[in-house]
């Protein structure tokens, strides 16, 4: 689990990022979760946007993505989800203690 300090750090790091995935009418599926897990291994920190036509509510989408990709849910703000997962191969972010 992330501490409050680590989440604040990750939120500031994610601020300038653009969402690279969009959850739409189809909702969350296995293929999307796999792609997000792969991208997290490379980037560690990503944003996912939830489109207006998504039938699931944002909290259940956030929970499904973080659980499926085994990632930490940093933040849900508006229709944007911020996910973090420490990379095994490409460590870039150094979290505060």
Confidence of residue 52 (pLDDT cuts 50, 70, 90): very high
Q: Domain total for the chain?
A: 1
Query: Using CA atoms, how far apart are residues 52 and 7, in angstroms rounded to an integer?
Result: 26
| Domain at 63, CATH number | 3.30.110.60
> Would you state the pLDDT for residue 1?
83
Query: Using CA atoms, how far apart are residues 27 and 54, in angstroms rounded to an integer?
Result: 6
Query: Using CA atoms, how far apart are residues 8 and 24, in angstroms rounded to an integer?
Result: 28
Confidence of residue 29 (pLDDT cuts 50, 70, 90): very high
Query: Using CA atoms, how far apart are residues 53 and 9, in angstroms rounded to an integer?
Result: 31
For residues 39 and 71, the answer to whether their CB atoms sit within 8 Å is no
Range of the domain at 62: 2-82
Average pLDDT, the chain: 94
3-state secondary structure of 6: helix
């Amino acid at each position: 689990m992330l501490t409050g300090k680590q989440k604040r750090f990750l939120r500031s790091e994610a601020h300038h990022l653009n969402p690279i995935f969009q959850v739409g009418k189809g909702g969350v599926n296995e293929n999307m979760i796999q792609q997000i897990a792969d991208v997290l291994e490379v980037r560690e920190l990503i944003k996912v946007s939830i489109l207006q036509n998504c039938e699931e509510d944002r909290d259940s989408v956030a929970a499904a993505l973080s659980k499926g990709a085994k990632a930490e849910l940093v933040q849900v703000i508006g229709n944007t989800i911020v996910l973090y997962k420490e990379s095994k191969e490409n460590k870039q972010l150094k979290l505060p203690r």
